[in-house]
Structure 1
């Protein structure tokens, strides 16, 4: 019997803090899905320049080209983000803006998890953006985790049973979408 090769997933945290709840959540998902996904966290959000549509096709910065290539070659994308001031963190929105005209998200299985104090406004806004850029099955591959700091500990363990079950279901839906 042929061994199963884990699917290549690029994870993006909307938080720039290295030990944020969202980074811990990515680690937890990596541990829960280690038999089916190989998750690599993109650490270069701060290195991407401000989006400039004039550079989207010509004179595109090398860091942007590298980011686009990572997304293009991935089997799927996992976004875990907080909400800032009832919106999408600017650094995350900037990164996604660089992909609008080049279409790396188009028909790409993408999971959106907003883990924040409340999160509903930023979650809704980012969900709409991902729909517009045609992220595959995004309506079913999304989860809002309010009061996330009470549900995920500093060791990257999901301590809330309901949240853990929701994450496990999301992982299975993600796997199914990738394998379609």
Structure 2
């Protein structure tokens, strides 16, 4: 039997250099099991503000994002909460993906570096449901990283956090491989 590598695209809703959500995504990429490749996307800051009047063929940053999403088996999103809402960076990226033919039905898992970011997570679930994403609830978690001082290495080496993240990615990979068995919903457990 031949096994295919599962490709997951990770999107951070923060452009901040010291973002805990971005650190979390890089840590998860390092913790991914064999056969799962997680690539943290670097191009969200290059996206122009969403304007449906612009021709996509003239927007290389938008085309690159849409191609990366199309090539991925699943999408992993970690985004901060700003003023009880989704970050502008994440909302802008999702707006550019609304018309994408490849996004509907795409498995999505949500991670967050702060259990207090409930408003943004609820808004993300609403947006993603509207976009016909397949949210994998058992792989969507919030971790208490905000203010922890943990960098990417610290997250990877932390016994409890590492285990939680490995379990979440394993659940996400399983849901991608067997979509009929995935529990889909808006649950967002705090660890």
- Bin of the TM-score, shorter chain as denominator length: 0.7 to 0.9
Q: State the TM-score, normalized to the length of structure 2.
A: 0.81
2:93 aligned with 1:67: no
Question: Which residue matches 2:74?
Answer: 76
Q: Which runs of 4+ in 1 moved over 4 A?
A: 57-60
* 1:37 and 2:36 are equivalent in the alignment: yes
Give the equivalent residue in structure 2 for 1:175: 173
Q: Number of paired residues?
A: 177
Contact kept? 2:10, 2:76, Cα under 8 Å: yes
Are residues 137 and 46 of structure 1, via their aligned partners in 2, closer, same or farther at CA, if it must alter by over 3 Å? closer
Match for residue 20 of structure 1?
Answer: 19
Correspondent of 2:107 among 102, 106, 109: 109
Change in Cα spacing, 1:96 to 1:51, as seen in structure 2 (3 Å) is same
* Conserved 8 A contact 1:116-1:149: no
| Closer/same/farther in 2, CA of residues 152 and 109 from structure 1, 3 Å limit | farther
Instruction: Provide Cα deviations, 1:88-138, integer angstroms capped at 9, x if missing partner.
Output: 110110000011122432111111112236211111111111111111243
Structure 2 unaligned regions, length at least 5: 179-191
Residue in structure 1 matched with residue 98 of structure 2 by the alignment? 100
CA contact (8 A) 2:33 2:166 kept: no
Q: For the aligned residues, what is the CA RMSD?
A: 2.3
Q: 1:120 maps to what in 2?
A: 118
Answer yes or no: is the 8 Å Cα contact 1:77–1:110 preserved in 2. Answer: yes
CA 1:154 to 1:74, structure 2 compared with 1: closer, same or farther past 3 Å? closer
> Structure 1-normalised TM-score?
0.85
Q: Please give the secondary structure, in 1, of the residue aligned with 2:136.
A: coil
| Residue 173 of structure 1: how far off its partner (Å) | 1.6
| Residues 108 and 135 in structure 2, CA contact (< 8 A), matched pair in contact too | yes
Given the alignment of the two structures, is residue 150 of structure 1 paired with residue 184 of structure 2, yes or no?
Answer: no
Matches of 1:64 and 1:51, distance apart in 2: 10
Name the CA distance, whole Å, in 2 between partners of 1:51 and 1:8: 26
Structure 1 unaligned segments of length 5 or more: list them. none
